[in-house]
Amino acid sequence: MNILILGGGGREHALAWAIRQNPKCDRLIVAPGNAGIANVAECAALNIESRADVLEFAQQNAIDFVVIGPEAPLAAGVSDALRDAGFLTFGPSQAAAQLEASKTFTKEVCDACNAPTAAWARFDNGAEARDYVTAQGAPIVIKADGLAAGKGVTVAETIEQAHGAIDAIFDGEFGDTSVVIEEFMEGEEASFFILSDGTDCLPVGTAQDHKRVGEGDTGPNTGGMGAYSPAPVLTEALQDQVMERIVRPTVAEMARRGTPFQGVLYAGLMIKDGTARLVEYNVRFGDPECQVLMMRLGGQILDLLLACAEGQLAQARVSWADDHAMTVVMAAKGYPGAYEKGSVIGGLKDLQEDSFQMTFHAGTADRDGATVAAGGRVLTCTGRGANLSQAHQRAYAQVEAIDWPQGFCRRDIGWRAL
């Protein structure tokens, strides 16, 4: 098969690495890719949010299967254009991608199918939003309604902090968007990944990530500073509960609305006293959660994605090893605030990389034969082992072997489980 992956981050590097292991994969192209992805696939310069450009590229390269990695092309309707042209495609339609692109849409779906989630209200006016917060009190959660690359959420511990977050959103920090304000939910967060072909659902893994930039889970939210899989808090009984009360009702409601969901549902959950409530949905694999999932799933992921795209999930099965994986993000100093690009990263060519340890590239580029930082989150050092401490040891061994003074990482990834 000729396979095209859209995207150029750590998630797409992990997907490419895993898909490449499957014998069904003959030719693998990743657009736009990055310096690390170039080691496992062809990279192609392509505007992945342009329906016309992606369609033309797929036709010219006789692509058999397209896997859409990030949320932006999904929200732009690239999957619709590909399917309309007859290309087998993994990723939800533009209408179904609203489960991530609009917090309001997700809340309305949850209300319609009685899926447990936080109480909420939506505002198009800053003064009204601030008045609501003042009346409700803190802690409280402020969210930009639209896509914000994982950064449009503030867990405000004071009313003043909440007002500041509201002002930032209405000042245009995340584009032209409204504000969704939610009840603060206490508990432990975990991520649950489920494939859906529009009718059937198949769980494909659990993970926990560290969103805050600082050790001890302090400081501002980021796109994720590390993750591990499986998530100990998501027991089999709890997974069954989530499927029954949240995921299957959501998939049924989406079908009822005429927008069946086909792709991966990333359910962010808050767990307390043996019960889970939905924090949010994403409609693509998380980054860096994808890295730990792919490390554990390997080449079988291609068969699972194909079954999902072909509407054959009822026949699909996941083969799990009794293993653990951990990934540690190396980011440019200053992230998630202002940071510099272009610093040279040393030591990458000497890394030992195999099915137990891999450094996936998130934001890198090639400059005159050297690998340079080209983003905020730059590398994801990933280890797999028989237990979490072994995975932890292998992930941090990769960190130690990399020579990049302009980067930093958290040293406590996995602390809750360890």
Phi and psi torsions of 94, nearest 5°: -60, -40
Question: In the prediction, which pLDDT does 150 show?
Answer: 56
pTM given for the model = 0.93
From first to last of its 418 residues, the chain has per-residue pLDDT tens of: 999 999 999 999 999 999 999 999 999 999 999 999 999 999 999 999 999 999 999 999 999 999 999 999 999 999 999 999 999 999 999 999 999 988 899 999 999 999 999 999 999 988 999 999 999 999 999 988 876 655 678 888 999 999 989 998 888 777 677 899 999 999 999 999 999 999 999 999 999 999 999 999 999 888 899 999 999 999 999 999 999 999 999 999 999 999 999 999 999 999 999 999 999 999 999 999 999 999 999 999 999 999 999 999 999 999 998 999 999 999 999 999 999 999 999 999 999 999 999 999 999 999 999 999 999 999 999 999 999 999 999 999 999 999 999 999 999 999 888 8
Q: Cα separation of 20 and 15, whole Å?
A: 8
Measuring CA to CA, which residue among 92, 88, 42, 37 is closest to residue 63? 88
Q: Cα separation of 196 and 215, whole Å?
A: 35
Question: In the prediction, which pLDDT does 199 show?
Answer: 95
Q: How far apart are the first and last CA of the chain?
A: 41
Measuring CA to CA, which residue among 181, 168, 190, 164 is closest to residue 104? 181
Question: In the prediction, which pLDDT does 70 show?
Answer: 94
Amino acid sitting at position 222: T
What topology does CATH give the domain 125-177? Dna Ligase; domain 1 (3.30.1490)
* C-beta atoms surrounding 101 within 10 Å: 20
Question: In the prediction, which pLDDT does 148 show?
Answer: 62
Structure tokens at 371: 């690998």
For the segment(s) 188-315, the CATH number from 3.30.70.120, 3.30.470.20, 3.40.50.300, 3.30.70.1450 is 3.30.470.20
Domain with residues 324-408, CATH architecture: Alpha-Beta Complex (3.90)
Question: In the prediction, which pLDDT does 171 show?
Answer: 85
The contacts of residue 2 (CB under 8 Å, 6+ apart) are: 26, 27, 29, 61, 62, 63, 64, 65
Decide whether 2-93 matches 188-315 in CATH topology. no
What topology does CATH give the domain 2-93? Rossmann fold (3.40.50)
Tell me the domain boundaries of the chain. Answer: 2-93, 125-177, 188-315, 324-408
